[in-house]
Amino acid sequence: MNPLASFATDPLFFHGVHWVELLIVVIKVLAAFVVLLVSVMLMIWFERKVISDMQSRIGPNRAGPYGLFQTLADGIKLFFKEDLVPDQADRFVFKLAPYLALLPALLIFTVVPVGGDLSIAGHHFELQVADPPFGILFVLAMSSVSVYGVMLAGWSSGSKYPLLGSVRASAQMISYEAALGLNVVAVVLTARALSTRAIVASQAHAFWDWNLIRLGFVPFFLFLISITAELNRPPFDLVEADSELVGGFNTEYSSIRFALFYLAEFMNTITMSAVVVTLFFGGPDGPIPRFIPTSDIWMPIVWFALKTLVFLFIYVWFRAALPRLRYQLMDLGWKVLIPMSLGWLLVVAAVIVWGWWGLLVALAEVVLGAGLARAFGVGAARTETEEAF
């Protein structure tokens, strides 16, 4: 047996690695890449159409039936526009930054299970590009790498407004990354595995075994808020405040490099919606009508696509419905989300170890939280009194 096979969790490699297995991997990579690109094109059209319907407008309706080819037309236009590089820019980093923003979204999708198992010509494999035993850690690592693309784009532009936008964006992404990671740890504790396929398998018995329900709903909502801030989607799109930053970190970009940032934003939205479905909603798990031939192959893909589409609609709904609010973004991340995520993680760990007696930890947290809130309130009141005099 090939020594690499002992470290593989994908059944494709159980009998070694040969040219057939490598060919299947290449096909899966190309298929994932094509699916993501087509999904981004449809997602942009979907967002523009849904927002226009919600706001009583028309939306794209010229290029192709129902405007379906409008995104393709915009991409072709941007590809042939003049590519401008500012005189004061660091040319190498300036050109590298869009790819650093785009690649993490592509790589994260490779560890997301989009269906069940499939057998072709005696080769059994999963409908997933890769299933490393540390898959969820890979997701967290790649989501952290995307910060570099944003930061380097603003710094390398040689202009103060993109720099301010990139500093604001990186600070926001780093602060919400902590809360995101704590809620992922709660999922890992429950599933007792780091593999995304194992996390899905731990939820596959019935819908009440979904981590959404097993973890008490709170980690899901905290994760959703954190990931929305990570994606810079409304109402957390302060990094693109036009009245303050002229568009944010990508102000100096044009042509295909601007298109890459635009592509990365929507691709990240699709990828992270898929991650939410994987962690909390059972991934491709769902009822399968066994009386329909081959339904066990394509029905999990349908369930995965439908669940992901629900979250994509929610993100579009947020953009259409929420105004630009002024609030303390960093206070929400550091003073609210992180303490709540850490507190709930301690409760989950205590329940896993001690059973229902672990709820005593929740009671202790409530008492300590009330004491801290009282202490902070007294301190703030004394500060206001001292400032008044």
Q: What is the model's pLDDT at position 2?
A: 39
Classify 119 as helix, strand or coil.
strand
- DSSP 8-state symbol, 112: S
Treating both helix axes as pointing N-terminal to C-terminal, what angle do 255-280 and 135-156 enclose, rounded to 10 degrees?
A: 150
Q: What is the model's pLDDT at position 269?
A: 92
Omega before 132 cis (within 30°)?
Answer: no
As a whole number of angstroms, the distance between CA 257 and CA 89 comes to 14
Q: Do 144 and 22 touch, CB atoms closer than 8 A?
A: no
Q: What is the model's pLDDT at position 6?
A: 36
pLDDT in tens, the chain (389 residues): 333 333 346 676 666 677 777 888 888 889 889 999 999 999 999 999 999 988 888 888 888 888 888 888 888 888 888 888 888 888 899 989 999 888 988 899 999 999 877 777 667 777 888 888 888 999 998 888 888 888 898 889 888 888 888 888 888 888 888 899 999 999 999 998 899 989 998 988 878 889 999 998 999 999 999 998 888 888 887 777 655 656 778 888 888 888 898 888 899 999 999 999 999 998 898 888 877 777 888 888 999 999 999 999 999 998 888 876 666 677 888 888 998 999 999 999 999 888 888 788 888 888 888 888 888 788 878 877 776 66
As a whole number of angstroms, the distance between CA 367 and CA 373 comes to 10
- DSSP 8-state symbol, 42: H
Q: What is the model's pLDDT at position 7?
A: 38
Q: What is the model's pLDDT at position 335?
A: 83
Classify 124 as helix, strand or coil.
strand
- Where are the alpha helices (H) located in 231-357, listed in sequence order? 242-245, 255-280, 295-321, 329-331, 338-354
For the chain, what are the domain ranges? Answer: 81-349, 354-389
Q: What is the model's pLDDT at position 336?
A: 86
**Number of H helices and number of E strands within the chain?**
14, 2
Q: Do 97 and 152 touch, CB atoms closer than 8 A?
A: yes
